[in-house]
Structure 1
Amino acid sequence: WESNFNLSHFKTTITSLNSATGFYDRINWWMNNWTQRAAIGESPWLFYGYVEEGIFQSVEELQNSALPADNNGEEYAIAENSIWVGDVKYKDINGDGIITGDDQTYIGNPWPKYFAGLTNSLSYKGFDLSILITSTIGNDVYNYLRNENSNPNNINLGRNMFVSALDYAQLTTDAEGNTILANPGTTVARIASSSKNGNYSRHTNKYVEDGSFVRLKNVTLNYNLPATLLARQKFIKGARVGVSAQNVWTITGYSGYDPEV
């Protein structure tokens, strides 16, 4: 029986860039302008976007919160076709009282802090068993599929959707006639044909998930046919049969198909 274990720590930092701004943005248009940023002093291609603070519950909350603004720094109106109850509330990172591109920040790191691997090899009476376990720890994954299939605006497109999309923010009125949420515990923004808030076009930390995992990567069992059996003929000096299984199980908190992306 032989076991081998390895553990390595990974860290990468950008020390210089041929850029006047000190950073480069990598924007994926096919992922609705999903942005990763490489900046001096940081790891390369960190996830970059807004931070969500929940869903607006009432007009009063809207009136007391930082709201998205136009290119002139003027907040969009509080109205059903603009910014309204049931829209996403974004964190005012720079504290200037409005939500603009300057409120984007680093929301995830794709690089694992640690890589680990464990190999076990066992031999007994012609049998040999090999087991490989691999792991990465500390990296983030952007679950774009969850983003797309949790968007209730896509319900009528004939695609498969997550059940969570049905729990979108639904509006009602209280006894005083004020607009409030009928389902205040929801984390899914309202359906809106027109909105200035960018509920589903602004990339946020909501769909950034911990991509750490432990995986039983490979199991192989072989059997060496005994020499006494092969001695009955003259053509084959040795024979070995075996079976192998890949990706037997995975332990992870990632909700997508495969954390090893």
Structure 2
Amino acid sequence: MVIDHHDPQDVLDPMFSDVRPVGAAATLFVEYLQSGCFLEMEATNPNHVQVATALMHGLHSETDGFIHAGKAEFGAAAFLSAFVEHALLERVMCVKKSRGTMDTIQASLAKRVIRGGLSVAGVGFVRWGDRDSVPQAADFLLTEDNVQTAIVYGLFQGSDGREFISGSLRTNNATLGVDSYLKRALGCDTRGKPYGGGRSRAGGFEIDLGFLSTARSDRSIREAKWVLYDHEIRKKIFLEAGLDETLDGGEAVNGHPAES
């Protein structure tokens, strides 16, 4: 079963699919609740309150605080407002960033390369427990002046020893087709599955390193591999955007203006 608002990737063949171009996946779930066919919401039922609060958070986060919300999202929020626990929602919205997240954001600032409104940062090794820090770093880089699109990626290793590059894209460029851009820039694996994809304003990618995965103890080898991966991914990203990552015209590189 697939219920989402992302562009179809033609990878799954679900028994049931509801994919529509709304502002948030939560909007679709709220529509189901509004229909009354699956559940009659009750403000006195704590489980219903938690569901409504979670969906309200989903609406808020996926529409950038309702900035990019449409009529459907505002209607969904109006319906949920009768069941939301506002104190719980406030606690969820105000969760403090972990040290790992702050380290990733710091690394993205130090290593970012900016060209033509595109900010790209490879942050190196990221702990599996801090995997959510990469999209948060992309969100942060997007707030910089004159940046319309931010891409942050890092190297992860799962509990099974599998290594992979995972990245996030955030943009406020309404003309950028995020899904097609990432697919063209990064290509597909041997099975024809795209490494990346997305929707309006956001996207992500994951590149499995396969047999090139290295044991945790071989740090020097992993660091050498990262230099290569970082260079190749950054080059592909800028090339697809029609930009040159080399110094030119005094734009910022690694967070500092280029010397003339």
Q: TM-score scaled to structure 1, two decimals?
A: 0.23
Structure number having the greater strand percentage: 1
Larger-Rg structure: 1
Would you tell me which structure has more helix in proportion to its own residues?
2
TM-score normalised to structure 2 length:
0.23
Structure with bigger RCO (C-alpha 8 Å, 6+ apart): 1
